[in-house]
A and B are shown apart, each in its own frame.
Chain A
Amino acid sequence: EAQVTQNPRYLITVTGKKLTVTCSQNMNHEYMSWYRQDPGLGLRQIYYSMNVEVTDKGDVPEGYKVSRKEKRNFPLILESPSPNQTSLYFCASSLYGQGNQPQHFGDGTRLSIL
């Protein structure tokens, strides 16, 4: 089954404790991205990757890191999480790009930073 898998689905942690949210897709997609969803703000893009070893900032990259060492994986790293990063996070992938391609989304990761 074609899917985007995120782990963990839920996480409660404390300020400053490094965490990684994993994202994996099995559709051989070149493009992957991370969004955060906050009430009243919709989805805002954090980082995206057009292909392996190619990443770029989205609209709200501060406090986040990403890497794309393999085509299927695109982990999101919070090196020193803060309470304002409490949010619902989505990973997405598509064949080639963002603006002209339907995106396939994971089921989301709800992060709470205390």
Chain B
Amino acid sequence: AQSVTQPDIHITVSEGASLELRCNYSYGATPYLFWYVQSPGQGLQLLLKYFSGDTLVQGIKGFEAEFKRSQSSFNLRKPSVHWSDAAEYFCAVGGSFGNEKLTFGTGTRLTIIP
């Protein structure tokens, strides 16, 4: 069965510092990978996705993620965080067929300190 692990429940970084959120997945074939962000009181918004091709994908709000098949990882990065990036971040794994299950990780809460 497919699964997603986000090992960091809560991360605190200073405004302007770099950020890396970890995501490890388990999936039997080529995964479809997603990162979503949930701001307080709102639904999840897609940050970026990886389906195939270039393993470094760019997303919205200055985020990027790198797919590393050998490590079964899809870590999210941002070179310089802003106070508005404080939110909860979810990694998710799916597959190539429309009825493939989409499995979410348990999320990482990001706090930004001035």
Contact = CB atoms under 8 A, between A and B. Distances in A.
Interface of A: 4, 31, 40-45, 50, 90, 92, 96-103, 105-108
Interface residues of B, number: 26
B98 A96 contact: yes
Given A100-B32, A108-B43, A42 B99 contact: no
Given A96-B98, A98-B100, A99-B32, A105 B106 contact: no
Q: 10 tightest CB-CB pairs across the interface, nearest first?
A: A97-B98, A99-B94, A99-B100, A105-B43, A42-B106, A98-B102, A43-B104, A105-B44, A99-B95, A102-B46
Contacts of B42: 107-108
A92 B94 CA distance: 15
A99 B43 contact: no
Contacts of A41: 106
Nearest to A38: B106
Contacts, number: 70
Contacts of B97: 97, 99-100
B51 interface: yes
A99 B94 CA distance: 4
Given A4-B43, A108-B42, A97 B99 contact: yes
A100 B94 contact: yes
Contacts of B44: 43, 90, 92, 103, 105
Contacts of B95: 99-100
Given A99-B98, A100-B95, A100-B96, A42 B90 contact: yes
B28 interface: no
A44 B49 CA distance: 20
Contacts of B43: 4, 90, 92, 105-108
Interface string B72-99: 0000000000000000001000111111
A97 B42 CA distance: 22
A106 B102 CA distance: 17
